[in-house]
Amino acid sequence: MTKPKVGFYWCASCGGCEEAVVDLHEAILDVVAAVDIVFWPCAMDFKRTDVEAMADGELAVCFINGAVRTSEQFEMVELLRRKAGVVIAFGACAQSGGIPGLANFTSKAAILANVYEDTRTTVNPHKTYPQATVQVPEGTLTLPVLDETVRALGQAIPVDYYLPGCPPPAKLIADAVGAILAGTLPAPGSVLAPNVGVCHECTRKETKPEKMLVTQFKRPHQVLIDPAQCLLAQGLVCLGPDTRSGCGAACPAGNMPCTGCLGALDQVRDFGAKALSGLASVLDAGEDAAIDAGLAGVPDPAGTFYRYSLPASELFAKLPE
């Protein structure tokens, strides 16, 4: 029997999502037995021309991680969209922009100036910047062009499913592969993770007070964290109540607050606004000075609440050009 063909691709990505596939451990052998992996630049030496040679729709599924920031990434995801029956945005960067998406708080020009002129270790007296094309005796060399902004995958091409997380937990990946093979994927557009908050699977949930009141938020290095108590009740910025579960509450289990990498629940339009609102609702402060003091432990609110989702957020849509 012909096995379904599967591809993996990475765009603006740290490589962690590729590692997450390897985190399947021996279960990856079952995946390889059930499908033909025909494109995976991180692990196998297939070329773009191999993808171009495929018939449209020849790939049953393509998992794409990373955000879209360059002309090359956009060309590749458009090509893979044509070649794949199902495209899965794999990981927070593909789902909503992720960590690379924080670059949208500044401009392309400012980023290039910082990298090629301003950093202390840069010596660039002639202000030499990379060029998209360069003539050499052998011909024309080209480089991808950096886009003005970072885009989530769904802002560049139509996406069928979202596999959240930074990176996606191995269990969610295994469940998604199982659903693909069994033909039991949910409705297109679905996020392939439970639609309940991280608190739901957190071992500290019994210690989460019914009525939470916090007078001052603190950063993890500022307190001796009680390993059994709810982190939010201890004044740490734990975004578990507003973050989709599926990770086994791994960060709270490791004594670190949830930072929101699995993103918003289905009913939430903007993760950052929801998380900010959730935190504000437990802050026990009335006067401006008390509010400022209480929020001193959140030194970078935009980066805290939009750490994984700025490009796809309502906030970014409202930022000035």
Residues contributing to the site for ligand SF4 (CB under 6 A)? 13-14, 16-17, 65-66, 91-93, 98-99, 166-167, 198-199, 202, 204-205, 208, 230-232, 238, 240-241, 249, 252, 258
Nearer to ligand SF4, 206 or 321 (CB): 206
The minimum distance between CB 240 and ligand SF4, in angstroms, equals 2
The minimum distance between CB 6 and ligand SF4, in angstroms, equals 18
Q: What single letter denotes the amino acid at residue 318?
A: K
CB 38 within 8 A of CB 46: yes
How many Cα atoms are found within 13 Å in the side-chain-facing hemisphere of 40?
Answer: 18
The minimum distance between CB 58 and ligand SF4, in angstroms, equals 26
Residue 264 structure tokens: 């918003």
Whose structure tokens read 């802002």? 155
Strand partners, 214: 283
Residue 6 structure tokens: 């599967």
CA dist 80 and 307 (Å) reads 27
CB 236 within 8 A of CB 220: yes
CB 49 within 8 A of CB 81: no
Nearer to ligand SF4, 1 or 224 (CB): 224
Q: How many CB atoms lie within 10 A of CB 173?
A: 26
Is residue 68 helix, strand or coil?
Answer: strand
Nearer to ligand SF4, 64 or 84 (CB): 64
CB 80 within 8 A of CB 87: yes
The minimum distance between CB 95 and ligand SF4, in angstroms, equals 8
- Per-residue DSSP letter, 205: G
The minimum distance between CB 111 and ligand SF4, in angstroms, equals 17
Nearer to ligand SF4, 98 or 154 (CB): 98
The minimum distance between CB 269 and ligand SF4, in angstroms, equals 21
CB 101 within 8 A of CB 260: no
